[in-house]
Amino acid sequence: MMIYKDFVTLFIIFTIILSLGIRIAEEGLNATMGLDIRPKSFNLIIFNNRAYDLTILGKTFKLQKYYKVGEIFIGKGRLSLKINEKEFTLYSLIPARTILKDRQNVDKKPANRYN
């Protein structure tokens, strides 16, 4: 007895393989005919300015992502950003009042050995 989740998974895998097969066949046909055009069955182009051009079965969708930076708050070891109406908070790894009392050499050698 086949479970519903297994059927959905098999259908998704079949759809992906079918769409890739159609795209490869279309690219091969265009190359054989000497046409220099993009495939119309399935094509995804990523541009440098966060823009995406998606073509599915001849219909073209243009997607572009914008980040809206809202409020920035910095105080007492905490940084709060509001990006696209979502708030992100970053905490400092080093406590704000930590100060080294005396200087230390990294290699643990006394300073007079270098003179």
| Polymer length of the chain | 115
* pTM: predicted TM-score of the whole model, two decimal places: 0.45
> Which tens digits make up the pLDDT trace of 69-109?
777 777 777 778 887 778 888 777 765 555 555 555 556 65
Residue 73 lies in a domain: no
Range of the domain at 12: 1-37
Residue 51 lies in a domain: no
Residue 71 lies in a domain: no
Residue 93 lies in a domain: no
Amino acid (one-letter) located at 45: I
Q: How many CB atoms lie within 10 A of CB 1?
A: 3
Q: Per the structure, how many domains does the chain have?
A: 1
> Which tens digits make up the pLDDT trace of 12-34?
999 889 888 888 898 899 899 99
Residue 44 lies in a domain: no
